[in-house]
Copies of this chain bind each other. A is one copy, B any other.
Amino acid sequence: TVATSTDRRSSMSNEQELLCIFGTGDLGRSLGQRLLQTGYRVVYGSRRPHSCGPLPERAQVMSHAAAAQSANLVFICIHRENYDFLETLAPELKGKVLVDVSNNVEKNLYPEANAEYLQRLIPGAHVVKAFNTLSAWALQNGPSDANRQVYLCGNNAEAKQAVSVVATKLGFTVLDRGSVSAAKELEDFPLQLFPEWRLPLRLAVGLTAFFFFYLLIRDIISVYIKEKKDISFRIMVSLANKVFPIVSLIMLSLCYLPGVIAAFLQLYRGTKYKRFPDWLDRWMLCRKQLGLLALGFAFLHVLYTLIIPIRYYVRFRLSAITVRENRTPEFDTTMAWRTDSYYSVGILGFGLYLLLGITSLPSVSNALSWREFSFIQSKLGHVTLFFCTFHTYLYGWDKFLRASSYKWYTPPGYMLCLVLPSVVLVLKLLLLLPCVDRSLTRIRQGWERTNPDDDSRKSLLT
User: Which residues in A have some Cβ–Cβ distance to B below 8 Å?
Assistant: 7, 10-11, 13, 23-29, 39, 47, 51-54, 77-79, 81-82, 102, 116, 119, 133-135, 138, 145-149, 155-157, 165, 168-169, 171, 173, 175-182, 189-194, 230, 233-234, 236-238, 240, 273, 288, 296, 299-300, 302-313, 315-316, 318-329, 331-333, 335-337, 339-341, 343-344, 347-348, 350-351, 354-355, 360-375, 445-446, 448, 451, 453-454, 457-462
Contacts and interface: CB of A to CB of B under 8 A. Distances in A.
A193 B26 contact: no
A392 B448 CA distance: 61
Contact of A308 (B47, B310, B328): B310
B192 A178 contact: no
A29 B273 contact: yes
B175 A179 contact: no
A351 B296 contact: yes
- Residue from A135, A315, A369, A461 whose CB has the most chain B CB atoms within 10 Å: A461
A340 B462 contact: no
Contacts of A311: 336, 339-340, 343
A133 B300 contact: no
A305 B307 contact: yes
- Residue from A39, A191, A238, A362 whose CB has the most chain B CB atoms within 10 Å: A362
Contacts of A299: 351, 354
Given A181-B39, A300-B347, A311-B340, A366 B192 contact: no
Nearest to A308: B310
Main secondary structure of the interface of A (DSSP, over half): helix
B145 A288 contact: yes
Contacts of A325: 319, 323
B11 A233 contact: no
List the 4 shortest-distance A-B pairs measured between CB atoms, nearest first: A25-B461, A146-B373, A26-B446, A363-B363
A176 B176 CA distance: 14
B54 A273 contact: yes
B331 A82 contact: no
Given A336-B233, A461-B25, A373 B343 contact: no
Contact of A192 (B273, B365, B371): B371
A110 to B, nearest CB: 16
A146 B307 contact: no
A13 B155 contact: yes
Nearest to A314: B310
Contacts of A368: 146
A26 B445 contact: yes
A25 B364 contact: no
Contacts of A373: 145-146
A309 B312 contact: no
Given A300-B347, A340-B233, A315 B318 contact: yes
- Residue from A102, A329, A371, A375 whose CB has the most chain B CB atoms within 10 Å: A371
A459 B28 contact: no
Contacts of A318: 315, 319
Contact of A361 (B79, B119, B333, B361): B361
Nearest to A11: B155
A321 B312 CA distance: 14
Contact of A347 (B78, B181, B190, B304): B304
Contact of A157 (B7, B39, B302): B7
B462 A369 contact: no
21 contacts: A7-B155, A7-B156, A11-B179, A26-B445, A26-B446, A79-B461, A133-B369, A168-B176, A189-B369, A236-B343, A236-B344, A237-B343, A237-B344, A303-B350, A303-B351, A309-B310, A310-B343, A311-B339, A316-B331, A322-B323, A323-B327
Contacts of A304: 344, 347
Contact of A79 (B326, B366, B462): B462
A85 to B, nearest CB: 9
A365 B202 CA distance: 23
Contact of A146 (B29, B344, B366, B459): B366
Contacts of A171: 177
Nearest to A170: B178
Contacts of A323: 322, 325-328
Contacts of A165: 178
